[in-house]
Amino acid sequence: MAQNTYLVVMAGGIGSRFWPFSRTHHPKQFHDVMGIGRSMLQLTIDRFAEICPIENVFVVTNRDYHDLVQEHLPHLPSDQILGEPIGRNTAPCIAYASYRIAQRDPQATIIVSPADHAVVNEEEFRRVISQAVDAARSNDVLITLGIQPSRPDTGYGYIQYMDDADNSLPGGLFKVKTFTEKPNLELAQMFVSSGDFLWNSGLFVWRADVILHAFRQYLSDISEVFDEGATQLGTAQEEDFISEAYSRCRNISIDYGVMEKADNVYVLPADFGWSDLGTWDSLHRIGKRDECNNVIDGDVILYDTCECVIKTPSERLVVVQGLDGYIVAEYDNVLLICKRTEEQRVKDFVADVKSKKGVGYN
Q: Can you give the pLDDT at residue 1? A: 56
- Dist CA 21 CA 146 (whole Å): 28
Q: How many CB atoms lie within 10 A of CB 22?
A: 25
Query: What is the tens place of the pLDDT at every residue in 40-98?
Result: 999 999 999 999 999 999 999 999 999 999 999 999 999 999 999 999 999 999 999 99
Using an 8 Å Cβ cutoff, are 36 and 138 in contact? Answer: no
Q: Can you give the pLDDT at residue 362? A: 84
CA 170 to chain centre: 27
With a cut of 50, which residues of the chain have pLDDT below it?
A: none
Q: Can you give the pLDDT at residue 99? A: 98
Residue 347's alpha-carbon distances to 29, 279, 292, 350, in angstroms, are: 18, 11, 28, 5
Query: What is the tens place of the pLDDT at every residue in 103-114?
Result: 999 999 999 999
